[in-house]
């Protein structure tokens, strides 16, 4: 079954705009995913960072997917890894080459370890809400 999902994209290391564009392209090349729309790129200050960091470039992409939620998360994490993202257990709000978050999947509500949909802090983050509203 095909569902509309919304993915938040962020990068604050290296070629931030290039990483976001590459991520959108990688999403479109992933089996079971087609990109339906992409927002403009927004710039935002890091949230909750313990140390100074560069600003983030953020966007939101609407996709249509036949992937199950966990398979979608796995696909997003592969794209992050390919962009040089190194996940460290327990670390939050750190600088990163690429961050891809599932914001919404249709009208689904999911509360599993490592996967919560809608994204638990979606409404608190203008850098997600504004591009989401745009598309």
Distance CA 21, CA 117 (A): 24
Q: Which residue among 55, 96, 107, 124 is the active-site one? A: 96
Residues 62 and 4: beta-carbon distance below 8 Å: yes
**85 catalytically annotated:** yes
Q: Which residue among 16, 19, 99, 125 is the active-site one? A: 99
Q: Could you tell me which residues come within 8 angstroms of residue 133 by beta carbon, excluding any fewer than 6 positions away?
A: none
Q: Which residue among 74, 101, 107, 124 is the active-site one? A: 101
Radius of gyration of the chain (CA): 14
Q: Which residue among 85, 87, 107, 121 is the active-site one? A: 85
**121 catalytically annotated:** no
* Integer CA distances (angstroms), 70 to 27, 88, 112, 128, 129, in order: 15, 19, 10, 21, 23
Look at strands 42-44 and 56-65 and give their pairing: antiparallel
Residues with active-site annotation: 85, 96, 99, 101
């Amino acid at each position: 079954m095909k569902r509309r999902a919304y993915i938040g994209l962020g990068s604050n290391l290296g070629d931030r705009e290039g990483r976001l564009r590459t991520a959108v392209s990688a999403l479109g090349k992933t089996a079971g995913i087609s990109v339906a729309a992409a927002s403009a790129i927004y710039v935002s200050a890091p949230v909750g960072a313990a140390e100074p960091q560069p600003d983030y470039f953020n966007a939101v992409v609407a996709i249509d997917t036949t992937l199950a939620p966990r398979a979608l998360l796995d696909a997003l994490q592969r794209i992050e890894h390919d962009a040089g993202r190194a996940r460290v257990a327990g670390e939050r709000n750190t600088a990163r080459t690429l961050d891809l978050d599932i914001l919404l999947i249709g009208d689904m509500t999911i509360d599993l370890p490592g996967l919560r949909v809608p994204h638990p802090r979606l409404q608190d983050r203008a850098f997600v809400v504004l591009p989401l509203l745009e598309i």
